[in-house]
Chain A
Amino acid sequence: MRKYLTIFRISIEEEFAYRLNFILWRVRNVLQIFLTYFLWSTVYSDSTREIFGYNRTKILTYVFGIMVVRALVFSARAMDVSNDVANGDLSNYLLKPIKYIKYWFTRDLASKTLNLIFSIFEFLLLFIILKPPLFLQTNLFLLLAFILSIVLAILIYFLILFLLSSIPFWVPEIGWGSHFLVTVVIAESLSGSLFPINILPQLLQSIVMTTPFPYLIYFPVEVYLGNITSWALVGGLIVAAAWVGILWFTLNIVWQKGLKVYQSIGR
């Protein structure tokens, strides 16, 4: 356990070594929130209006909820794993009595902690500037379900990143392409971080809900808003948990095979 605590501490120190990088990434997040906020604020300019089952308060809470949930789910370092595999730095870890997957999960948690702290500050700042009407969830059961859904979201995203990062075992030159497609294009649009999934046509919605992506952002935020309750909530949690299981199982097989063909290149 102590070894992972030390990794946690050093990871945070390293993030500070890249101060500017970190700040720019946070600025990007704030700008994105501004953009989404003003878009929906305009659509719902009439506060009595209700579209797609959202009123002004709820859609604006959704936008703010995204900010915090994004900081928790999308701030991850595990995409660097593909570099380790492609250029042979993975060897450094394989030589040590340490679990590589746990190592990266710890680094992800460090990154998330830091991002969460910053996003809370940003949250307060934006709250003071924009003064949006926010919806406060008071149902304790739903709050617990919200926390559980966040944990599942973090695991799903971590496992997806790790699986993508295993591709270089077989195709070392894949580089950033697959990550871009999955984490930027697919995850951003299907996770609900740009718009709530339930504004899509019903058929498309049901298809999207069987993929792991909406459980990253959309599902946790909706649980918080109280829009998903009873069986739909339980069902959603089961699907998310099932995805964690499937991804974990696949990852283990892929890594066992990957390590056998691993060439530990770059001398």
Chain B
Amino acid sequence: MDRAIIVDGLVKNFEVTEKEPGLSGAFKSLFSPKKKTVHALRGISFAIQPGELVGFIGPNGAGKTTTLKSLSGLLYPTSGFVEVLEFDPWNRNPEFLKQISLVMGQKNQLWWDLPAIETFELNRAIYDLPRRTYNENLRELVELLEIEKLLNIPVRKLSLGQRMRMELTAALLHKPKVLFLDEPTIGLDIIAQQKIRDFVYDYNLKSGATILLTSHNMDDLVNLARRVIIINNGRILYDGAFEKLISDYAPNKIIKARLSNEKNISDLEKIGKVKKISLPEVVISVPRSTAAIAASELLQNFPVDDLTIEEIPIEEIIRKAFKGKSQK
């Protein structure tokens, strides 16, 4: 098998009922519902090799989640070809399901009122794992994710970050060959985000699993995915090396700073291109290679309270670099 995932010309349309606002609107839609077709995917194609870690990036509503759901057999494709591990996901063959996992950042599979260990036990039974394999896998995940002390606490009492680590454990107990991660860092604080990213990176290296990870945030993919696919309005705009995307389309980084007073504010131009000043916040764009130097200069010469260095928002890259392509 030289391809873990093959997608060719995948189209997915949804029928949605539109409602006008207010009570009269609700009444109208009761008798003459207005149907509208949403084109979530307009024919996307790509292939992924076993063991690859691919970042799927795009603004909200671009079609990332729809793609993952089609690949894991939850959605019935309107047209097009999908094959994962040589299975048609839609058939939901048990042998296929035993080799995949989908983790959604905003959905949980854990039993809310019971400790997470119960869900793990249940998954052991569902995936037919021998007791020994289960114990080994669990111990490994418990160590990697540092969840030893959380195993016996009812899930509803866990914090979001703790729950996410439990979700990952539940999803990985059966050692899936293909792992779909849908916005796994959404809503988490920066430290928790970094923990998840480190874990995903290590897991990919150690297990050799194929991982497809979505995000709407470029920062999520730095030092993680070597290959990225940019999707917008249900179409693929870019599919290639992350480094090349950065050098071709995002040569600059964004420094956001909070200043305690307005002293020397006109000198900011010397550091980089000033994008926005709405005091106390300033936003400066600087070349990637000199971002660190620019930041330290800023710290030395200006009254900085707080400072972050970020990637350019994906929406901006799409707007600038793929202007022609992203039109409907």
Interface residues of A (CB under 8 A from B): 2-3, 5-7, 10, 13-14, 17-18, 88-89, 91-92, 94-98, 259-264, 266-267
| Structural contact, B114 and A14, CB atoms closer than 8 A | yes
Decide yes or no: A10 and B122 within 8 Å by CB, A95-B101, A96-B97, A266-B106 being known contacts.
yes
On chain B, the residues within 8 Å of A95 by CB distance are 72-74, 97, 100-102
CA–CA, A87 to B121, complex, Å? 25
| Structural contact, A94 and B74, CB atoms closer than 8 A | yes
Residue from A17, A94, A97, A267 within 8 A of B113 (CB atoms): A17
Query: What are some 15 contacts across the A-B interface (CB < 8 A)?
Result: A2-B125, A3-B128, A6-B122, A10-B114, A13-B118, A14-B114, A91-B102, A94-B73, A95-B101, A95-B102, A96-B127, A97-B126, A262-B76, A264-B74, A267-B106
On chain A, the residues within 8 Å of B97 by CB distance are 95-97
Could you say which interface size class chain B belongs to? 35 or more
Most buried by A among B111, B118, B125, B154: B125
Nearest-CB residue, chain B, relative to A1: B125
Decide yes or no: A267 and B104 within 8 Å by CB, A13-B114, A95-B97 being known contacts.
yes
| Structural contact, B125 and A6, CB atoms closer than 8 A | yes
On chain B, the residues within 8 Å of A266 by CB distance are 106-107
Residue from A17, A98, A261, A264 within 8 A of B126 (CB atoms): A98
Nearest-CB residue, chain A, relative to B75: A264
CA–CA, A13 to B117, complex, Å? 13
Decide yes or no: A10 and B111 within 8 Å by CB, A262-B75, A267-B182 being known contacts.
yes
| Structural contact, A89 and B107, CB atoms closer than 8 A | yes
Expressed in whole angstroms, the minimum distance between the Cβ of B164 and any Cβ of chain A is 14
CA–CA, A3 to B182, complex, Å? 27
Task: Mark B65-100 against chain A: 1 for CB-CB distance below 8 A, else 0.
Answer: 100010011111000000000000000101101101
Which chain B residues (21-44) contact chain A, with CB distance < 8 Å?
none
Residue from B92, B95, B124, B126 within 8 A of A94 (CB atoms): B92
Interface residue B46 (Cβ < 8 Å from any Cβ of A): no
Expressed in whole angstroms, the minimum distance between the Cβ of B179 and any Cβ of chain A is 12
Interface residues of B (CB under 8 A from A): 14-15, 65, 69, 72-76, 92, 94-95, 97-98, 100-102, 104-107, 109, 111, 113-114, 118, 121-128, 154, 182-183
| Structural contact, A92 and B107, CB atoms closer than 8 A | yes
On chain A, the residues within 8 Å of B126 by CB distance are 3, 6, 96-98
| Structural contact, A259 and B118, CB atoms closer than 8 A | no
Decide yes or no: A267 and B128 within 8 Å by CB, A95-B72, A95-B97, A97-B98 being known contacts.
no
CA–CA, A88 to B109, complex, Å? 11
Residue from B102, B106, B113, B125 within 8 A of A5 (CB atoms): B125
On chain B, the residues within 8 Å of A261 by CB distance are 15, 76
Decide yes or no: A6 and B121 within 8 Å by CB, A88-B107, A260-B76, A267-B182 being known contacts.
yes
Expressed in whole angstroms, the minimum distance between the Cβ of A5 and any Cβ of chain B is 7
CA–CA, A13 to B121, complex, Å? 13
On chain B, the residues within 8 Å of A6 by CB distance are 121-122, 124-126
On chain B, the residues within 8 Å of A259 by CB distance are 76
| Structural contact, A263 and B114, CB atoms closer than 8 A | no
CA–CA, A89 to B127, complex, Å? 19
16 further A-B contacts with Cβ under 8 Å, apart from A17-B154, A97-B127, A267-B105, are A6-B126, A7-B125, A10-B114, A10-B121, A13-B114, A18-B113, A91-B102, A92-B107, A94-B73, A96-B123, A97-B95, A97-B98, A259-B76, A260-B76, A264-B69, A267-B182
Expressed in whole angstroms, the minimum distance between the Cβ of A88 and any Cβ of chain B is 7
Expressed in whole angstroms, the minimum distance between the Cβ of B138 and any Cβ of chain A is 15
Expressed in whole angstroms, the minimum distance between the Cβ of A99 and any Cβ of chain B is 9
CA–CA, A262 to B77, complex, Å? 11
On chain A, the residues within 8 Å of B98 by CB distance are 97
Shortest Cβ-Cβ A-B pairs, 9 listed = A6-B125, A97-B94, A3-B125, A17-B113, A97-B97, A92-B109, A264-B74, A260-B76, A267-B106
CA–CA, A88 to B14, complex, Å? 15
| Structural contact, B122 and A7, CB atoms closer than 8 A | yes
CA–CA, A75 to B59, complex, Å? 46
CA–CA, A264 to B71, complex, Å? 13
Nearest-CB residue, chain A, relative to B127: A97
Expressed in whole angstroms, the minimum distance between the Cβ of B196 and any Cβ of chain A is 17
On chain A, the residues within 8 Å of B69 by CB distance are 91, 264
CA–CA, A166 to B266, complex, Å? 64
CA–CA, A38 to B128, complex, Å? 53
Expressed in whole angstroms, the minimum distance between the Cβ of B90 and any Cβ of chain A is 9
On chain A, the residues within 8 Å of B106 by CB distance are 266-267
Expressed in whole angstroms, the minimum distance between the Cβ of B167 and any Cβ of chain A is 11
Expressed in whole angstroms, the minimum distance between the Cβ of A201 and any Cβ of chain B is 37
CA–CA, A52 to B106, complex, Å? 58
CA–CA, A6 to B129, complex, Å? 13
| Structural contact, B14 and A263, CB atoms closer than 8 A | yes
CA–CA, A267 to B109, complex, Å? 13
On chain B, the residues within 8 Å of A7 by CB distance are 122, 125
On chain B, the residues within 8 Å of A88 by CB distance are 107
| Structural contact, A267 and B107, CB atoms closer than 8 A | yes
Nearest-CB residue, chain A, relative to B76: A260
On chain A, the residues within 8 Å of B75 by CB distance are 262-264
Nearest-CB residue, chain B, relative to A92: B109
On chain B, the residues within 8 Å of A89 by CB distance are 107
On chain A, the residues within 8 Å of B111 by CB distance are 10, 14
CA–CA, A6 to B95, complex, Å? 20
CA–CA, A260 to B73, complex, Å? 11
